């Protein structure tokens, strides 16, 4: 639980830093430096552990995940410069809802009544935040939803990779593919950063890497039912950063929408974990007999 609380703080801090750096560098260039510094942080570990530590038979799936995730990340970084932090975080919570929808529509996963109800509630939450018909849907909102949809596809790939690949292997190949993709995207809009900006970008990469590690540790050490509800604290940090550093006054209706989205996403995630555990338990019983 401590790990997931620290991870949400790291991720909210990362988003705030991206928002703050967007006045100095193009968002896609920020994504490049986040990637290249993240890779630099992991290379010493690979040298220390040896090449067998990153050996894989699934390089194609790593590449597909890396490309999709890189595009999602760059779109999200652009959107963060256009949308208040609290609103961006509220829409981020929709990722499990979208990944479940993709799994039902394209992967033939079972359609259960509770899952459909939760999906419906999550969609209502998105509508509360975006409020189409009551106010103009902004470009930033559309970009965040597109980014979240791409990330939802990545989640399904991550789920598949987790069957055979460790978190370290996944993390290494993620930044390994991120770096050249974000570098190519940065060339047309490149701006040479100052020394102080470079230091901030390094700090951003350290915080993002720490958040990713803490998040993985949280799920390794505790039941999902114990830690998933704590992810909502990211909204608290986002509201605080937006108010203190960017003079953003969050709309109550959008915070309510964010909590609705999060509640539906948390239910889907926890419920799926419970069902998976039930499917796995008979196998253990058979093996034990």
Residue 242: is its pLDDT beyond 90? yes
Its pTM surpasses 0.75? yes
287 pLDDT higher than 60: no
Range of the domain at 17: 2-288
Does residue 109 surpass a pLDDT of 80?
Answer: no
Q: Using one digit for the tens of pLDDT, what is the confidence trace for 169-216?
A: 888 898 899 999 999 999 999 999 999 999 999 999 999 988 888 887
Q: Give the mean pLDDT of 222-236.
A: 79
Contact 7, 211 (CB under 8 A): yes
Mean pLDDT score of the chain? 86
Write out pLDDT tens, residues 31-50.
999 999 989 988 998 889 88
pLDDT tens by residue, 24-33: 999 999 999 9
What is the per-residue pLDDT for 281?
Answer: 58
Query: What integer is the mean pLDDT of 241-270?
Result: 88
Cα–Cα–Cα angle for 78, 143, 18, rounded to 5 degrees: 25
124 pLDDT more than 60: yes
pLDDT band at 224 (very low <50, low <70, confident <90, very high): low
- Tell which wins on pLDDT, 72 or 214: 72
**DSSP letter assigned to residue 135:** B
Least confident range from 144-148, 208-212, 213-217, 249-253: namely: 213-217
Q: What pLDDT, on the 0 to 100 scale, is given for residue 133?
A: 54
DSSP string, 117-158: HHHHHHHHHHHHHH-BTTBPPPHHHHHHHHHHHHHHHHHHHH
Count of domains for the chain: 1
* Cβ atoms of residues 90 and 129 within 8 Å: yes
> 229-250 burial, b for 16+ CB within 10 Å, e for fewer?
ebbbebbebbbebbeeeeebeb
Determine the pLDDT at residue 116: 84
């Amino acid at each position: 639980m401590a790990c997931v609380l620290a991870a949400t703080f790291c991720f909210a801090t990362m988003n705030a830093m991206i928002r703050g750096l967007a006045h100095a560098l193009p968002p896609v260039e920020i994504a490049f430096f986040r990637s290249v510094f993240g890779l630099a942080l992991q290379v010493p570990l690979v040298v220390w552990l040896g090449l067998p530590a990153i050996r894989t038979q699934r390089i194609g799936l790593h590449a597909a995940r890396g490309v999709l995730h890189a595009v999602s990340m760059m779109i999200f970084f652009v959107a963060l410069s256009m949308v208040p932090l609290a609103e961006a975080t509220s829409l981020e919570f929709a990722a499990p809802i979208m990944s479940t929808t993709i799994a039902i529509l394209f992967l033939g996963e079972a359609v259960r009544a509770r899952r459909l109800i939760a999906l419906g509630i999550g969609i209502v939450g998105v509508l509360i935040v975006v409020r189409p018909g009551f106010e103009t849907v902004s470009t930033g909102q559309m970009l965040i939803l597109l980014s979240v949809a791409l990330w939802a596809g990545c989640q399904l790939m991550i789920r598949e990779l987790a069957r055979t690949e460790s978190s370290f292997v996944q993390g290494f190949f993620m930044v390994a593919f991120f770096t050249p993709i974000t570098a190519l995207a940065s060339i047309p809009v490149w701006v040479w950063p100052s020394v102080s900006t470079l230091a901030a970008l390094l700090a951003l990469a350290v915080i993002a890497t720490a958040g990713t590690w803490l998040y993985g540790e949280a799920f390794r050490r505790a039941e999902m039912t114990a830690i998933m509800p704590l992810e909502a604290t990211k909204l608290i940090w986002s509201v605080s950063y937006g108010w203190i550093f960017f003079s953003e006054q969050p709309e109550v209706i959008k915070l309510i929408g964010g909590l609705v989205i999060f509640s539906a996403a948390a239910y889907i995630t926890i419920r799926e974990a419970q069902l998976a555990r039930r499917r796995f338990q008979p196998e253990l019983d058979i093996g034990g007999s």
